[in-house]
Structure 1
Amino acid sequence: MAARVMVADRETVIDALRDDAAFALDTAMRLSRGHGFLSSQDIQAYLLDTAPLDRLVAAGLVSAEPHRDTVLIRPWPGPPRLLACIVGELPASRIVKGGYRVVTAERLKRELVGAVGRRADLFALLERAERGDL
């Protein structure tokens, strides 16, 4: 897990990662459905290596120093972060409007359980979004 404080706005960082990342959890929900589960402005993404992070640092979009706080969902305030999980293979994903790669709905459900547990309210929100009710 690599955490960096975002120096630029969230949309700029997401756009800079479009070709490299599979966006996860709340970021995947926001990109695919226009709204998220969480109030934080963090970005959650999977990357194949650290080269995209180095590029974001060079462009002045994220901090050069790793951020020590890698808690995925924190109950305390803090700066908006890019939380990048460096993996050998990107998880199952799909392309959504704007050309962003996001994890599949099934993967998103598993990530949601892993992040917040079995929250009926959030699963109901996800199911409504999948049906197009939102």
Structure 2
Amino acid sequence: MGESMRGLCKEEDYAFLGISERTEGAGVSEENQREDKEERITWRQQREQKEKERLREIEESRKEKEQQWRTHVANLTSSQEKTLQDRLARLRRFREFQRKVLAEESGMEAGAAVLTANQLLTRM
């Protein structure tokens, strides 16, 4: 019986120690859980911050590209307008030259020559 009593005492001791270990361990475990939760919250906040930063950079990049495109289109349009104005000026000078040559070749008066030249140039 002495051995069985020792076994019972051991079981009771282990049971007692197990309960006390659990309560002590629970305090440590709760602290670890709290630290883990805080770390997860910190990581989540960092992730959210990085995502916001990434989205902001994407938006800035989009706006910059849009502005570059607008500038490009404006420059292109301006260049085309200048080219057209230059062509119009050259064409007008050439028409004046044609009128002058036709007037000289026909040997008419200035007013009649201009009318005849305009009629001939219109037919061309």
| TM-score (norm: length of structure 1) | 0.16
| TM-score (norm: length of structure 2) | 0.17
Higher strand share: 1
Higher helix share: 2
